[in-house]
Amino acid sequence: MKPARTLLRLALSLAGFLGTLLVLETAFRAAGVSVGTVQINRRAVRRSANPRLQFELKPDAAAHAEVDYHINSHGMRNPSVADEKPAGVRRIAVLGDSIAFGYWVAEADAFPRQLEALMNRGGLGPVEVLNFGVPGYNLEQETERLRVDVPRFAPDFVIVGFCLNDLKSLSHEHGLVMDRSERRRHIAGRLWDSLLERSILVSWVEYRLVQLEARREFVAAKNPVRGGMFPGSPDDQRRELSSRFGAISELLRSARVPGLVAVFPMFGNRLAHYPHVELHRTVVEAAREAGLLAVDLLDCFKAYDFRDVRVDALHPSPMGHRIAAHAILDAMCAQGALCEGQAPRVGRSCTSYRPDEFPQVRGY
């Protein structure tokens, strides 16, 4: 009888455990719990056949996390767009990482779409701004995307949204894609991925674990407040930047398309006492020496409390994206790009926005 009782107890314990998981799964679904940027990566990102890109956005993909993320048929977080540029329309292509892509914010609140709206409402349209941003991309991948994906859309101008981690060789997102690809080589890994696809509860647990690891890595290696951002001397950084921007400039020069580098600050602490001013200056100088226009967005952002313009230490809030779009437009017009001597009718400065004008978004 003892083995039978033991099996019964085990069966009841297992039934209780599974019942608890079912109740939690139902509760998570009813509450619309977010599974964050891990879910974006799982549903909207794939390995690329191009070894220089390594990974890319899945055409026609969709993911729900903090907001809805939709990828169009061309692999952009962007409304559907024709290959051929409409007559009378000017196009701007935006390259970048998760900032340009718009982590945490609705597609309409990311700076590419806000720039488009400012230009069209300000009398500089009709303009289409195409968002080629991919979470986790660095300058090398952005250059390759400029080479292989952008030309067929015939842009009149190109913007590179530069984050201070864009000199990294590999990103957190790259690791997620490679780990998922490796898991799918084995039956157990495919079963685990299938569970992650179907269970909000399991996805949420994975999200929290990855989140903790990402925080530890970020604090250890890329603290946005203290210490240097990259190993090596300032001369090493300048040489690397000059090489990367030179490759972008050469591609644009051959296509006879001007380009601008917009340097985003980190949002880890008070912007009035920002620790990376010299690195910003180095980035701007390297871009200009390569023949690109450049703007340091810190000049506008430092007028604000950093908590009002960020979602987390890297990503702007909807208000932060508007400030960036405004500053980029001012820089374009000041440097003679697409404005043709006409000042946009914005009616305010990039330092005059208020938090209550924009949606509030929480990060981790």
Torsion of CA 74, 75, 78, 84, to 10 degrees: -20
Residue 247 sits in the same domain as residue 315: yes
**Biggest CA pair distance of the chain:** 92
Phi, psi of 68 (to 5 degrees): -85, 135
Residue-level pLDDT at 282: 93
Instruction: Answer with the residue of higher pLDDT: 31 or 67.
Output: 67
Instruction: Answer with the residue of higher pLDDT: 85 or 182.
Output: 85
In whole angstroms, give the CA distance from residue 67 to residue 209: 21
Cis peptide leading into residue 86 (ω within 30°): no
Specify if 208 maps to a domain.
no
pLDDT band at residue 119 using 50, 70 and 90 as cut-offs: very high
Instruction: Answer with the residue of higher pLDDT: 9 or 111.
Output: 111
- Amino acid present at 315: H
Count of domains observed in the chain: 2
Specify if 297 maps to a domain.
yes
Residue 26 sits in the same domain as residue 127: no
To the nearest whole number, what is the mean pLDDT of the chain? Answer: 86
In whole angstroms, give the CA distance from residue 18 to residue 12: 10
Cβ neighbour number for residue 173 with a 10 Å cutoff: 21
Q: Who contacts 155 (Cβ-Cβ below 8 Å, separation ≥6)?
A: 91, 92, 93, 130, 257
Output the six-digit token pair for 69: 């993320």
In terms of residues, how long is the chain?
364
Residue 23 sits in the same domain as residue 80: no
Residue 17 sits in the same domain as residue 75: no
| Residue pLDDT, tens place only, 246-270 | 999 999 999 999 999 999 999 987 8
Residue 278 sits in the same domain as residue 134: yes
Q: Of the ranges 178-192, 254-268, 319-333, which one carries the lowest mean pLDDT score?
A: 178-192
The CA-atom distances, in angstroms, between 164 and each of 167, 248, 296 are 7, 17, 12
Cβ neighbour number for residue 77 with a 10 Å cutoff: 24
3-state secondary structure of 93: strand
Residue 313 sits in the same domain as residue 238: yes
Output the six-digit token pair for 166: 């864009």
Specify if 299 maps to a domain.
yes
Residue 8 sits in the same domain as residue 83: no
| Residue pLDDT, tens place only, 195-248 | 777 777 777 777 777 666 655 554 544 444 444 555 566 778 888 999 999 999
Helices and strands, number each (H, E), in the chain = 13, 9
Structural domain harbouring 9:
1-32
| Residue pLDDT, tens place only, 46-105 | 999 999 999 999 999 998 777 889 999 999 999 999 999 999 999 999 999 999 999 999
Residue 295 sits in the same domain as residue 238: yes
SS (HEC) of 306-321: HHHHECCCCCECHHHH
Adjacent-strand bridge partners of 296: 263
Residue 130 sits in the same domain as residue 244: yes
Q: What CATH number does residue 77 fall under?
A: 3.40.50.1110
